[in-house]
Amino acid sequence: MRRSLWALAALLTVVGCEGNGTLQGSIGELFSLEVSNEAIERNSEAFQVTYLHNQATAQDIVVQLSVALTGVNFQPGATVDLTGEYAPSHPRCVVIHHADGEPERDLPYIKSGTLKLSGGGDPGQGTSGNFTLSFGDDAGYGAGRTLLGSFNALATDAGF
Residue ranges per structural domain of the chain: 19-157
Q: What is the mean pLDDT of the chain?
A: 89
Closest CA to 50 of 24, 28, 23: 23
Question: Which stretches does DSSP call E strand in 10-119?
Answer: 22-24, 37-42, 46-54, 59-68, 79-81, 85-87, 90-91, 93-98, 105-106, 110-119
How far apart (Å, rounded) are the C-alpha atoms in residues 136 and 47? 22
pLDDT of residue 138: 87
Looking at residue 3, what is its pLDDT?
A: 37
Cα–Cα distance measured from residue 126 to residue 22, given in angstroms and rounded to the nearest whole number: 16
pLDDT value of position 139 = 83
Over range 79-97, report the average pLDDT.
Answer: 98
What is the rounded average pLDDT of the residues 52-60? 93
In the prediction, which pLDDT does 14 show? 32
d(CA 67, CA 14): 29
Give the pLDDT confidence score for residue 54 in this predicted structure: 94
C-alpha dist (Å) from residue 89 to 12, 59, 85, 93: 47, 31, 7, 12
Backbone angle region of 33, left / alpha / beta, with phi > 0 → left and psi within -120 to 50 → alpha = alpha
Question: What is the pLDDT averaged over residues 115-135?
Answer: 98
Q: What is the mean pLDDT of residues 17-28?
A: 81
Instruction: Report pLDDT for 160.
Output: 65
Beta-carbon contacts of 124 under 8 Å, excluding residues fewer than 6 positions away, are: 154, 155, 156, 157
pLDDT value of position 29: 97
Instruction: Tell whether the model's pLDDT for residue 146 goes beyond 70.
Output: yes
The residue that leads in pLDDT, 29 or 159, is 29
Q: What share of the chain is helix, strand, coil (3-state, %, to 5)?
A: 10, 50, 40
Reported confidence tier of residue 10, pLDDT bands at 50, 70, 90? very low
